[in-house]
Amino acid sequence: MDVDAAIFDLDGVITRTARVHARAWKAALDPLLERRGQPPFDLHADYRRHVDGKPRLDGLRGFLAARGIALAEEEIRALAERKNALYLGYLESDGVEVYESSIAFVRTLRGRGIRTAVISASRNCVAVLRAAGALELFDARVDGMQAERLGLAGKPAPDIFLRAAAELGVAPARAAIVEDALAGVEAGRRGGFAMVIGVDRGGQAEALRAHGASVVVRDLAELNAAA
């Protein structure tokens, strides 16, 4: 990797919290869907297509629009808060799992002098990193709270990645993006980054390429072995 920095998405790349997010979305949305006679929230298709990698409210609004469901703003916000409460409860009861191969890859890059950053649409990024024992692996961090404070647009806009590159002091053309979400790889492409690595966690390799991934791997162990 002929770059000076690498920017990693958190959920689904570093930690296994993507499936916890999906579980929380399902628990929050299924009662609403059942009342309206609609199919339940799909842990894979609906999660990947509508909410993965996006700010909570953006993802929820996109999902509801796709299902043709109109809700008042206070109802939407209440659903989003319900989802977050469920997510935090699952984290507390089940803990945080990491992808050990991803942690090893980050360490390999840092050992070669490549600066690293982590991004997340979640407002719980610090808590998750701390619980995973990975807080010290990154030179910069941009999460949902910072994005809101700075007025950064959510993915597929590249704002959060561009902010992370700026905090690292690296031009996008000298940085790589590592993402598992379709919105995330599209954001990397839009931002003009040197390389966009798509991590295929759910059989969507072609979709990742179509959205902007220049390289697709099933696991970062493949890149660590080649490094």
Catalytic residue among 4, 9, 46, 159: 9
Whole-number pLDDT of residue 202: 83
Phi, psi of 192 (to 5 degrees): 70, 35
User: Which pLDDT score, from 0 to 100, does residue 38 have?
Assistant: 97
Note the pLDDT tens digit of each residue in 203-226. Answer: 899 999 999 999 999 999 999 866
Chosen domain end from 52, 73, 94: 94
Active site residue 58: no
Which domain, by its residues, includes 85?
18-94
The domain boundary residue, chosen from 74, 94, 114: 94
Residues 85 and 105 in one domain: no
* Per-residue pLDDT at 96: 85
Q: Residue 82 belongs to a domain with what CATH number?
A: 1.10.150.240
The per-residue pLDDT for 136 is 93
Name the residue type at position 24: A
- Measured in degrees and rounded to the nearest 5, phi and psi for residue 100 equal -60, -35
Residue type, 150: L
C-alpha–C-alpha distance, residues 191 and 110, integer Å: 23
One domain, residues 34 and 61: yes
Regions of the chain short of the pLDDT cut 70: 225-227
**Distance of alpha carbon 225 from alpha carbon 227, whole angstroms:** 6
Q: pLDDT for 30-47, tens place per residue? A: 999 999 999 999 999 999
The pLDDT value recorded for residue 114 is 97
Q: Which of 94, 127, 158 is the last residue of a domain?
A: 94
Tell me how far apart the alpha carbons of residues 9 and 187 are, in angstroms, rounded to a whole number.
Answer: 11
Choose, from 4, 11, 46, 143, the residue flagged as catalytic: 11
Is 9 one of the catalytic residues?
A: yes
CATH for 186: 3.40.50.1000
pLDDT (0 to 100) of residue 225: 67
Query: Among positive and negative, which fits the CA dihedral 148, 186, 135, 100?
Result: positive
Res 227: pLDDT: 60
The whole-angstrom separation of Cα 11 and Cα 97 is 10
Total domain count, the chain: 2
Q: Are residues 104 and 173 in the same domain?
A: yes
